[in-house]
Amino acid sequence: MTTKTKTRRQKVLSRTAVPPGRKTDQPQTADNYLNIATNLIDISPLNHRKYYDEDALKSFGTELKQHGIISPIMVRIVKPGRYELVAGERRFRASKLADLQTMPAVVRELTDEQVIEIQLAENIQREDPHPLHEAQGIAQLQTLGLSIEEISARLGRSRKYIFGRIRLASLIEPLQLIFLAGKFSLADANAIAAISADGQQEFFKQECRNWQKKEFRIYNLSGILNQYRYDLKRAPFDTKNKMLVPEAGACTKCQFNTAVLKELFPEEAKSATCTNKTCYQSKCSAHFNLMIASAVSEHQPIALITGYNVSERTLAALKASPLTRDLPIHQADEITIFEEPVMPTKEDFTDPWAQDDDEDAEFDQEGFEVALQEHQAELLEFQQIRERESTKIGLRVWDSSVKAVLFNTERPRSARYGSAASVTSKQVQEAIKNGTATVELLIGEVARLKGREERAKQIDRDKVQAAVHHQFAEHYQQLEHNLEQTDADTCALRLLIFEGLDYHSRNKVKATIFDQQPDEAMDEQEATYQALCNLTLQQHLLLVRMALAAKPESKLPRSQAAYTLYKVAEQSGLDVVAIENAQQEIAEARKARMETKVALLDKKVERLQQVTLEAE
C-alpha cells in the first residue's frame, strides 16, 4: 500500500513540477494540487520555526534553479485569492531567493490546531530536526490548550521528553539564536532554559555579548548558572509563606522550584532549588524589610552597624526604608560593640580524648567553675556597660540577618587575650586528633589559656576585696573600733572630698595637687593613693576648701554648708569684718534714701487727709 501511494505521488509531482523561471498568472489544477504564484502565498504566523540559515537557503535556492521543486508545499485558503503556507516554508523561502514565480502546492481546509500539528510533525519527521524547532512546536500545541499527556500521545513521546522540550522553548530569543548557531549544546541550552526569563536576560548581558565571534565559548557554565540558582533549604525567609510576596505565592508550589518537578526530573529534585533570581531576591528583600521593621519597633536603635562586605542592595534597602534612612551608619570595625557573655557549658571542658571509665580526666571541674565565675564577672561588667550613658543600641545588619547590639562610638580596643575567644579546648583537641590543627589555632589556644589564668587572678582579687569589704563594714560599725585616725583614714577622707568635686573643680584641683609625675612602677590606683597621702597642708586645705566652695548650697546663708564656709573663711584669716562693714555702709545709705522718701510720702498723706476733712 505504501509503495503504490508513493509511486502515484511521484507521478503527480512529475506532472505538476514547474521548470525554473516559468511564469504563471493563474493557479492551475492538477488532481489535488495547484500551481500557485509565489506572490499569492503568505508565511504562516503559526509556524514555530522563526530562524533559517541564510547561507543554507541560498545554496538550496541555487539547487532549485537547476532541478525545480520536487515536493509540493501545503497551503490553506485564508481569503479569496490568498493562501497561507502550512508546510514547506524552507522550500518557499529558497524558491523566492531563486526568483521562482510559482510553486506546486496542495490546498487543504485546516484549523489552526491542525496547522500547528502538521508543522510540528513535519519538523519532527525531518532527519535530525533541531531541538529548539521541535520545542517551539510543542509549546504552540500547549498554548492551544493541549495537556502534556495529549501532546505526548499525539507525538508518541514520553511526558518527560515533552516537558523537557517545553522548558527548552522558554529560552529567550537572543539565546535561541546562539543555540541555533550551534554554540550551545542541548545540555547547555536546557540548563540555561531552567532559569527564569529575567535571569536569562542577565546571563545573556553578562556572558554572551560577543557570541557572534568565532572564538566565543563559555567556560564553567554550571558555575556561572549557580549565580542564578538558590538553595531554598537555606533561604532566609519562610518558603511556605504565600503572603511574603503575594503575587509570587509560596515556593513550595512554584514552577521555578526544582523540587516541584520531581516527577519529571527526579535528578533535579534531590534539593529544592529556586531558578528565578528576581523572585528569590524580592522575597529576600521583603523578609529583610520585615526583620528591620520588627527590630526597629522592638529596640528603637539610634544607628545601623554594617561591615565592608555588606551588599549594595542591602545598603540601598536601608536608605530607602523610612524606618532606617535617617539613621547613621557605622562600620563595625570603627566602633566598639559589646556582646553579652555566653554561658560556658560542661561540653567546653570535657576532654574528648578521655577514656569512658576515667571520669576525673574526662571533665575539668575546676576549669568549669573558674569559667562560671569569670562569666559572672563578665556579665556584671556587661550590665555596667549597658547602663552607661555613652552606650547606645544599634542594629547590626548583614545581608540576611539583623541583630540588636550595644555599642559606643569609641574606636575598638584590641582584645586583651588575642584571639583566644575564638577557640575552645574541645575544638583544639579535636583538631589535634584529626591532624587539622594549625599554627594559628594552637597559638589561639595558648592565648586562651593565658587569658583564662589572668581572668582567674582577677577573680581572686575580687574575692579578696569582697571579703575585706564585708568584714570592714561589719567591724567599724561599732564605735569602740574607731579609736584613732590612721594615715589611710586621712587619705580616704581626701579621696571622698576629691570624688565629690564637680568636673571643673576636680580639674582645677588636679592641676595643683597631682603636679608630680607618678612612679612608673606603680599602677594608677596606687599612684593616686600615694599622691593623696602625701598632700602638703596647703594642698589638703585647698582640697577641703575647694570642695566646700563647690557645693551650691554653700552660697545660701541659711544652709549648713554656708555657715561652715563662713566659719572656715573667718578662721582662715579672710577679712569677713571688712566685707560685712562694706555691705553695712551700702545698707545704711540705702536706708537713708528710703527714710527720705518715706518722710515725703508722709507729708503728702497728711495734706490729703486735711483736704478731705475740709470737704466734709
Q: Which residues are catalytic?
A: 89
Judge residue 178's burial from the number of C-beta atoms within 10 Å of its C-beta, 0-12 exposed, 13-18 middle, 19 or more buried. Answer: buried
Helix (H) or strand (E) holding 188: helix 186-193
- C-alpha 497/C-alpha 492 separation (Å) is 9
**Of 305, 467, 482, residue with least CA distance to 396:** 305
**Of 432, 429, 442, 453, residue with least CA distance to 367:** 453
The one-character DSSP state at 266 is: G
* Residue 485: Cβ within 10 Å count: 10
DSSP 479-521: GGG--S--HHHHHHHHHHHHHTS-HHHHHHHHHHHS-SPPPTT
Half-sphere exposure of 225 (CA within 13 A, CB side): 19
Q: Which three cell numbers stand for residue 247?
A: 503575587
**Of 574, 509, 516, residue with least CA distance to 542:** 509
Instruction: Give helix then strand counts, H and E, for the chain.
Output: 23, 13
CB 306 within 8 A of CB 333: no
Q: C-alpha distances in angstroms, 248 versus 60, 197, 237?
A: 49, 15, 14
Stated length of the chain: 616
178: amino acid identity, one letter: I
Vertex 240, ends 239 and 241: CA angle to 5°?
95
Backbone torsion region of residue 363, taken as left when φ is above 0, otherwise alpha when ψ lies between -120 and 50, otherwise beta: beta
* Residue 228: Cβ within 10 Å count: 21
Could you tell me the strand order of the sheet in which 82-87 lies?
28-30, 33-37, 102-107, 73-79, 82-87, 41-42
Beta strands in 365-491 (DSSP E): 392-397, 402-408
Vertex 570, ends 567 and 572: CA angle to 5°?
105
- C-alpha 531/C-alpha 200 separation (Å) is 77
Backbone torsion region of residue 298, taken as left when φ is above 0, otherwise alpha when ψ lies between -120 and 50, otherwise beta: alpha
Vertex 506, ends 505 and 512: CA angle to 5°?
95
Q: C-alpha distances in angstroms, 397 versus 332, 382, 392?
A: 10, 22, 16
Percentages helix, strand, coil for the chain, rounded to the nearest 5? 60, 10, 30
Q: Alpha-carbon dihedral of residues 14, 17, 18, 20, nearest 10 degrees?
A: -90
Backbone torsion region of residue 389, taken as left when φ is above 0, otherwise alpha when ψ lies between -120 and 50, otherwise beta: alpha
Judge residue 445's burial from the number of C-beta atoms within 10 Å of its C-beta, 0-12 exposed, 13-18 middle, 19 or more buried. Answer: buried
- C-alpha 260/C-alpha 253 separation (Å) is 6
